[in-house]
């Protein structure tokens, strides 16, 4: 009888310790067509490239020696598919790991009705955990497109930036951007302090303008007892681009403060967060944030943070927590800027760009072009010294056209450096390109921009002889876009703004300058004081 008790206790132990492990596999595309559910239909093709996302969740930190693979199952025969050997799976200091695959499925490996694929995680000790099967069919009817989510919502910290999906792909597009409910253009890196809704807007070659899907986001509160406007001083530095296997260096943060009027409070309640940098699309919105959303880093509550090595591109930010004992989703917090740590390999056959340029007078800036590979994601980088690099926000296409910043204010020639990272989802590797440089020579002084009076009380005049002024954007000290009471154009080179409706303070202004008959355009940035 005693032995039976031992068996029961052992059975209960095995049962409870088997809980908590979870392997999830989600298809995201087949031959460049977006999907977000099974079955995977090969149709009449002999083979197809299928994109997959795999998530492994463990009840305790498992270490980084386990392996992840994708298997095909046909009857009782299970084999690793082409591209399905994912190697070791990196958890770092966490309990959850993700891996993206682009595998090749051959129709000959499956029966018409009973084939499937699954993901398998094997620990260093040889214990395996499998995902549910996803059916694979062939010579079948193509399944309908999955319905889009009607509740694309996010929760972001005070001063945070929502994650925005990649634009919908059309064949006859001139331009795409994001607009708020007032139809104002919103840049992808704009910080938000109040809830809002953004919509995808598309301009077509035939003159049509279309408002597409929307993203709703809620902004949490932060120190509501302080009067607006509040100034949050919370910055971290800097982005790192490392050879595979190279350890990241410390990410440093400043002494954070929040200021309202003459009151300044030092904040020492920090929480670092990280996320795997992976493209968000309308099709993967529903499950994206569970896998690729921002998550607290356990124990990372100091002013600075040293990240572990990773095979993935990781973004980091630092939250200021009003109440450190509050861990709910809507806790009061404010965020820093975002930096990224990207491991890379150098392979110019995979990722190369062209070419150096010298820009003077009205010579246009040429597009920097780069090669492409199947199912790649891109990020362009910028540097002023060819040492410290930063991602160019929104520059995620295959090619990129630079803009010169404030050439009128420079008394020396300015050299800008550019390179590109390319993420190959099939190999799960980031490749870095060669570096090219663009030399911007100083423009003649008669092309300078004048902003007067400054400080200003009512009417602000912008004048730029021989140049056309357009696309004026004004932001306040907290980063919010503001609109003057009125705008009058005396001529394309002189514009009057009625700023009497703006509060006292410092404002930042950005505009596009162009010259008639020339294709070069410059982005000009300046500031003015409203009294």
Report the range of poorest mean pLDDT among 262-266, 354-358, 449-453, 478-482.
478-482
Band (146; pLDDT cuts 50, 70, 90): very low
- Please state, in angstroms and as integers, the Cα–Cα distance from residue 225 to each residue in 234, 257, 324, 478, following that order: 19, 15, 17, 18
Q: Which range is most confident: 124-128, 359-363, 365-369, 378-382?
A: 378-382
Torsion sign (Cα): 442, 448, 451, 455: positive
Q: Within a 10 A sphere around the Cβ of 286, how many other Cβ atoms?
A: 16
Which CATH number fits the domain that encloses residue 474? 2.60.40.1220
Range of the domain at 510: 445-530
Q: What are the phi and psi torsion angles at 446 (to 5°)?
A: -75, 0
Are residues 297 and 352 both part of a single domain? no
**Residue 331: closest CA among 397, 273, 250, 370:** 273
Is the pLDDT score of 120 beyond 90? yes
Name the phi and psi angles at 14, rounded to 5: -65, -40
Q: 7 by DSSP, 3-state: which?
A: helix
Residue 209 has pLDDT above 80, yes or no: yes
State whether 481 and 521 are in the same domain: yes
Average confidence (pLDDT) over 99-108: 86
In this predicted model, what pLDDT tens digit does every residue of 305-333 receive, in sequence order? 999 988 889 999 999 998 888 878 788 99
Q: Is 142 within the bounds of a domain?
A: no
Look-up of token digits 């003159």: 207
Asked whether residue 332 is domain-assigned, the answer is yes
Residue 229 within any structural domain of the chain: yes
- Same structural domain for residues 219 and 296? yes
311 and 194 in one domain? Answer: yes
Task: Give pLDDT tens digits for 65-92.
Answer: 889 999 988 766 788 999 899 888 888 7
- Is residue 430 located within the same domain as residue 379? yes
Of 288, 309, 339, the one marking the end of a domain is 339
Q: What is the CATH number of the domain that holds 26?
A: 2.60.40.3880
378 forms beta bridges with: 422
State the pLDDT at residue 315: 93
Asked whether residue 353 carries a pLDDT value surpassing 90, the answer given is yes
Within a domain: 146: no
Domain contains 147: no
Residue 143, in any domain of the structure: no
Whether cis (ω within 30° of 0) applies to the bond prior to 356 is: no
Q: Is the CA virtual torsion 453, 454, 457, 460 positive or negative?
A: positive
DSSP, collapsed to helix, strand or coil, labels residue 166 as: coil
Indicate the helix (H) or strand (E) that contains 379.
Answer: strand 376-383
CA-wise closest residue to 378 among 410, 352, 414: 352
Residue where the block lists tokens 């730029």: 464
Measured at the alpha carbon of residue 260, what is the angle toward residues 256 and 261, in degrees to the nearest 5?
130
What is the distance between the alpha carbons of residues 235 and 337, in angstroms, rounded to a whole number?
Answer: 6
Task: Note the pLDDT of residue 519.
Answer: 62
The region of weakest confidence among 124-128, 196-200, 441-445 is 441-445
Cα–Cα distance for residue pair 46/48, rounded to 1 Å: 7
Same domain, 6 and 125: yes
Q: Are residues 333 and 353 in the same domain?
A: no
Inform me whether the pLDDT recorded for 18 exceeds 70: no
For strands 185-186 and 173-179, give the pairing. antiparallel
Task: Return the pLDDT at 114.
Answer: 63
Q: Are residues 436 and 450 in the same domain?
A: no
Reference 336, options 305, 299, 291; nearest CA is: 305
Paired sense of beta strands 376-383 and 390-391, if any:
antiparallel
DSSP run (H or E) holding 5:
helix 2-17
46 and 128 in a common domain: yes
**CB-based contacts of 79: which residues, under 8 Å, 6+ apart?**
71, 72, 109
Please report whether residue 180 resides in a domain: yes
Same domain, 219 and 306: yes
Q: Write the Ramachandran bin of 505: left for phi over 0, alpha for psi from -120 to 50, otherwise beta.
A: left
Q: Which of 440, 463, 484 is the last residue of a domain?
A: 440
Is beta strand 77-88 parallel, antiparallel or unpaired with respect to 67-74? antiparallel
Number of structural domains (the chain) is 4
Q: Give dist(CA 193, CA 10) in Å, integer.
A: 54
Confirm whether 105 is domain-assigned: yes
Residue 443 in this model has a pLDDT that exceeds 60: no
> Could you give the angle at the alpha carbon of 105 between the alpha carbons of 46 and 79, nearest 5°?
125
- So what's the pLDDT on residue 444? 53
CATH number of domain containing 373: 2.60.40.10
Same domain, 301 and 415: no
Distance CA 296, CA 300 (A): 8
Same domain, 127 and 175: no
């Amino acid at each position: 009888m005693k032995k039976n008790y031992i068996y029961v206790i052992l059975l209960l132990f095995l049962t409870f310790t088997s809980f908590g492990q979870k392997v999830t596999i989600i298809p995201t595309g087949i031959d460049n067509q977006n999907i977000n559910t099974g079955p995977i239909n090969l149709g009449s093709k002999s083979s197809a490239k299928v994109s997959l996302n795999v998530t492994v969740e463990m009840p305790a930190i498992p270490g980084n020696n386990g392996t992840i693979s994708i298997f095909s199952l046909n009857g009782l025969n299970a084999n690793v598919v082409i591209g399905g050997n994912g190697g070791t799976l990196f958890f770092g200091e966490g309990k959850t790991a993700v891996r993206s695959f682009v595998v090749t499925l051959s129709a000959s490996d499956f029966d018409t009705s009973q084939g499937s694929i699954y993901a398998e995680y094997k620990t260093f000790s040889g214990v395996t955990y499998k995902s549910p099967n996803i059916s694979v069919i062939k010579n079948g009817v193509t399944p309908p497109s999955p319905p889009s989510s009607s509740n694309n919502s996010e929760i972001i910290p005070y001063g945070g930036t929502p994650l925005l999906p990649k634009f919908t792909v059309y064949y006859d597009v001139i331009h795409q951007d994001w607009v708020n409910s007032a139809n104002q253009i919103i840049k992808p890196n704009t910080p938000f302090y109040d809830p809002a809704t953004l919509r995808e807007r598309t301009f077509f070659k035939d003159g049509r303008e279309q408002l597409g899907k929307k993203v709703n986001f809620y902004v949490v509160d932060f120190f509501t007892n302080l009067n607006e406007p509040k100034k949050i001083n919370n910055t971290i530095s800097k982005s790192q681009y490392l050879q595979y296997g190279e350890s990241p260096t410390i990410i440093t943060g400043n002494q954070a403060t929040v200021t309202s009027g003459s009151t300044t409070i030092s904040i020492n309640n920090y929480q670092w967060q990280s996320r795997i940098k992976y493209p968000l699309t309308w099709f993967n919105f529903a499950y994206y944030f569970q896998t690729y959303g921002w998550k607290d880093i356990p124990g990372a509550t100091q002013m600075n943070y040293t990240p572990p090595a990773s095979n993935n591109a990781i973004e980091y930010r630092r939250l200021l927590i009003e109440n450190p004992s509050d861990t709910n989703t809507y806790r009061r917090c404010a965020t820093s800027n975002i930096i990224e740590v990207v491991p890379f390999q150098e392979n110019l056959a995979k990722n190369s760009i062209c070419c150096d340029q010298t820009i003077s007078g009205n010579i246009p800036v040429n597009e920097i072009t780069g090669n492409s590979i199947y199912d790649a994601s891109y990020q362009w980088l910028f540097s002023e010294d060819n040492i410290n690099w930063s991602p160019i926000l929104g520059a995620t296409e295959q090619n990129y056209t630079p803009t010169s910043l404030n050439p009128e204010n420079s008394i020396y020639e300015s050299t800008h450096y550019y390179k590109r990272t390319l993420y190959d989802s099939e190999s799960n590797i980031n490749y870095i390109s060669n570096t090219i440089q663009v030399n911007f020579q100083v423009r003649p002084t008669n092309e300078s921009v004048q902003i007067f009076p400054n400080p200003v009380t009512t009417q602000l005049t912008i004048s730029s002889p021989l140049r056309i002024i357009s696309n004026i954007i004004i932001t306040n000290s907290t980063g919010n876009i503001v609109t003057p009471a009125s705008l009058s154009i005396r001529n394309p080179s002189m514009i009057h703004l009625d700023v009497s409706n703006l509060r006292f303070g410092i404002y930042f202004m950005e505009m596009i300058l162009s010259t008639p008959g020339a294709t070069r355009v410059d982005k000009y940035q300046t500031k003015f004081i409203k009294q």
